[in-house]
Structure 1
Amino acid sequence: MEPRFLLLSEVAAELNVSDSQVYHMVRSGELPAIKIGGRGQWRVERSKLEEYIAGRYAETADWVRQNPLTERDAD
């Protein structure tokens, strides 16, 4: 069974980005997360990460529809 909550470093590995990029995404509110424990460590719920990824796919698909490939781009 996969863990419900992920460390920011685990999220970074899943998205193939840096830890600092994930921290910025969390602090800006782009990626929902919670702070837990006495030291206030960040955790991202796996389901929230999956929702985030699905949202990025939808945004990308919308961008592609609005920016059709031109003949010059195809080369």
Structure 2
Amino acid sequence: MTQRMLTLADVAEILDITIPTARSLVRGGEIEGFQVGGRGMWRVEAQALDAYVEREKAAAVARRTSRQQH
């Protein structure tokens, strides 16, 4: 089965962020990705982006819950 590969432009559009921010998230390991070719073009599997979004949603809920308890 082939996974859908996303470019940094795709990631940026989906998350409504800039391409440099998307690149930073991937290079920093927050979103799992890999480089292809010699020009440093990045690709992200759709599943990896989904996992990032789920982690961020869980973290936001945890922060909100923590603030409400204090």
TM-score, structure 2 normalization: 0.88
- Where does structure 1 differ by over 2 angstroms across 4 or more consecutive aligned residues? 37-40
* Identity score, percent: 31
Q: Gapped runs of 5+ residues in structure 2?
A: none
TM-score, structure 1 normalization: 0.82
Secondary structure, counterpart of 1:68 in structure 2 = helix
Secondary structure, counterpart of 1:67 in structure 2 = helix
Q: Gapped runs of 5+ residues in structure 1?
A: 71-75
Aligned length: 68
RMSD: 1.8
Q: Which structure has more helix as a fraction of its residues?
A: 2
Give the C-alpha shift of residue 40 in structure 1: 3.3
Distance in 2 between residues matched to 1:49 and 1:13, nearest whole Å: 12
Q: Deviations over 1:2-22 (max 9, x none)?
A: x71000001000000000000
Distance in 1 between residues matched to 2:4 and 2:61, nearest whole Å: 28
